């Protein structure tokens, strides 16, 4: 960060310190929690620089229980929450009473504009109601053949790379190209051309977006990024004047995504009769909503472009990341890779020819689906979400926690403004929910009967797609995409690591990204060896 900007940040930090010192203290202060070295930075710097995602937080949860007190920048306290009943209350039972924090709103607005990921309350309800039909199970089944064609094309690209003499490739960016093309064609009827390496500014801005903008933030960058939490609303606009690494990369993506969105609308919508259109694909729904005169059914031009940017990034990143970590685990567990290939052979044997499969065929593969669920559990792309209590509240707990005075609590009182860290990563490893082997990648847990659980996530009771009013609208899309691509890859290849002992790390960079330990400057990486091994029927 430029020295002038650093001075401005320091000055604003002093102002915020004065502002926050006058706020009342949260009832969370009675909880136990780790010591903090810096009032100004809280635990954020330590979490940012931990060796791997969760190293610190999971250890804290094990020591203090599924709810404990942590520290955020500028002296704010944060309730770290990984308890099933507590999370159910915050995400499901409270509606919009635990909104996103001002810094999250500020940064997602830079990234997307006023789309479904940014807005809240009645505006969010309007966006969600407009877009829900595009993500129904029936509508998603119409995308299946498109997913299959894209996966087959991707497989062909990989074979060409191997035939060209490269047996090892960094699979992460290639999976990103595939999922970008899929979201373009399925949601918007538009060819992004990422797999064909066309000169595409959008694909270029997405490549290493989070690595370049979020990995290993400096102390000043952390303070700047979190300022909107504590500044008066009237002062937040001052931050627009200060450049930052995050702002540069986020803005570049939004400009590229919205320019692509304008091309999408020009190519597919302009001149068409929207009144007679009944299509339930994303683009048709967005176009009709844009043409509506009734306010509660309408999306403005800016809102439509923001939805395109949001769905492009979210639809591309979640699936690509989960596939990357799935292949990582299957390289670590080659016997499990063979189990899926045996299941694929079984499914294919039902047919005389290699015809296209139905969604029911993919759903009929218990072990492949168990692997997908277990990877979503073990490697959530977004390990945590930050919320703020909009009013005083009481959060119930499944498992009591012990206060610093030795008192057992079955519920926690929080005051308006209390920060709550929704620990997706820890909930997905909470032994109360997932058993004593929760810290082990074990797909077989999904083949038996899990113990009775508090209903929480939208898929397999996982929190990876969040829950409640802000749960991921495209989770069904992502699961079907994962099924199709994983099936195609394991039907065509065997995967392994290019060398023994390769040090792949899960690094916090806004989202969780894979890097090679001694090559972090090279960006997101998952080097794998591909061996073309088509299954014989």
d(CA 424, CA 466) in angstroms, rounded, equals 8
CB 341 within 8 A of CB 492: no
The CA angle 39-45-51, to the nearest 5 degrees, is 145
d(CA 12, CA 289) in angstroms, rounded, equals 41
User: 3-class DSSP state for residue 319?
Assistant: helix
Q: Per the annotation, does 472 bind a ligand?
A: yes
d(CA 452, CA 447) in angstroms, rounded, equals 15
Phi, psi of 198 (to 5 degrees): -70, 160
d(CA 305, CA 537) in angstroms, rounded, equals 47
Residue 334 CA, distance from chain mean position: 27
d(CA 346, CA 537) in angstroms, rounded, equals 9
Dihedral sign of CA atoms 57, 94, 390, 123 in order = positive
d(CA 420, CA 99) in angstroms, rounded, equals 10
Distances (CA, A) of 50 to 59, 76, 215: 12, 21, 11
- Residues facing residue 421 across a β-bridge: 80, 386
Copy the structure tokens of residue 49. Answer: 């620089």
d(CA 398, CA 400) in angstroms, rounded, equals 7
Q: 491-517: buried (b, 16+ CB within 10 Å) or exposed (e) per residue?
A: bbbbbbbeeeeeebebbbbbbbbbbbe
Instruction: Report which of 131, 140, 147, 137 is spatially closest to residue 185, judged by C-alpha positions.
Output: 147
Known binding site: residues?
472
Known binding site for heme: residues?
472
């Amino acid at each position: 960060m430029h020295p002038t900007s650093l001075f401005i940040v320091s000055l604003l930090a002093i102002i915020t310190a004065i502002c926050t010192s006058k706020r009342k203290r949260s009832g969370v202060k009675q909880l136990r929690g780790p010591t903090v070295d810096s009032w100004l930075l809280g635990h954020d710097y330590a979490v940012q620089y931990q060796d791997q995602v969760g190293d610190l937080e999971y250890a804290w949860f094990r020591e203090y229980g599924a709810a404990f007190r942590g520290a955020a920048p500028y002296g704010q306290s944060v309730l770290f929450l990984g308890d099933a009943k507590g999370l159910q209350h915050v995400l499901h039972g409270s509606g919009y009473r635990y909104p996103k924090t001002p810094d999250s709103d500020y940064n997602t607005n830079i990234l997307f504009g006023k789309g479904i990921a940014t807005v809240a309350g009645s505006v969010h309800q309007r966006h969600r109601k407009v877009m829900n039909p595009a993500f129904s199970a029936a509508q998603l089944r119409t995308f299946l053949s498109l997913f299959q064609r894209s996966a087959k094309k991707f497989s062909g690209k990989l074979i060409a790379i191997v035939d060209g003499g490269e047996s090892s490739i960094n699979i992460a960016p290639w999976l990103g190209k595939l999922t970008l093309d899929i979201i373009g064609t399925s949601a918007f009827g538009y060819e992004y051309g990422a797999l064909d390496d066309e000169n595409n500014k959008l694909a270029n801005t997405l490549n290493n977006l989070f690595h370049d903008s979020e990995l290993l933030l400096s102390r000043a960058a952390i303070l700047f990024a979190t300022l909107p939490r504590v500044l008066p609303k009237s002062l937040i606009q001052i931050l627009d004047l200060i450049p930052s690494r995050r702002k540069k990369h986020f803005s570049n993506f939004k400009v590229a995504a919205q320019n692509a969105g304008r091309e999408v609308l020009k190519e597919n919508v302009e001149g068409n009769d929207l009144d007679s259109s009944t299509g339930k694909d994303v683009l048709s729904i967005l176009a009709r909503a844009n043409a509506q005169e009734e306010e509660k059914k309408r999306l403005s031009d800016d809102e439509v472009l923001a939805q395109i940017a949001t769905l492009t990034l979210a639809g591309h990143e979640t699936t690509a990341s989960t596939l990357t970590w799935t292949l990582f685990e299957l390289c670590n567990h080659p016997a499990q890779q063979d189990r899926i290939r045996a299941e694929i052979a079984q499914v294919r044997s039902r047919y005389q020819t290699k015809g296209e499969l139905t969604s029911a065929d993919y759903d009929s593969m218990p072990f492949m689906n168990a692997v997908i669920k277990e990877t979503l559990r073990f490697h959530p792309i977004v390990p945590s979400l930050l919320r703020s209590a909009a009013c005083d509240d009481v959060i119930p707990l499944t498992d009591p926690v012990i206060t610093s005075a030795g008192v057992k609590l079955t519920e926690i009182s929080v005051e308006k403004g209390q920060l709550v860290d929704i620990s997706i990563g820890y909930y997905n490893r909470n032994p109360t929910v997932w058993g004593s082997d929760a810290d082990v990648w074990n797909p077989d847990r999904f083949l038996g009967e899990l113990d009775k659980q508090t209903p929480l996530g939208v898929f397999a009771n996982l929190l990876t797609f969040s829950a409640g009013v802000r749960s991921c609208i495209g989770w069904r899309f992502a699961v079907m995409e994962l099924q199709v691509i994983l099936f195609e890859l394991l039907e065509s290849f065997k995967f392994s690591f290019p060398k023994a002992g390769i040090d792949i790390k899960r690094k916090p960079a806004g989202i969780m990204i894979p890097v090679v330990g001694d090559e972090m400057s090279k960006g997101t990486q998952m080097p794998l060896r591909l061996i073309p091994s088509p299954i014989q029927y």
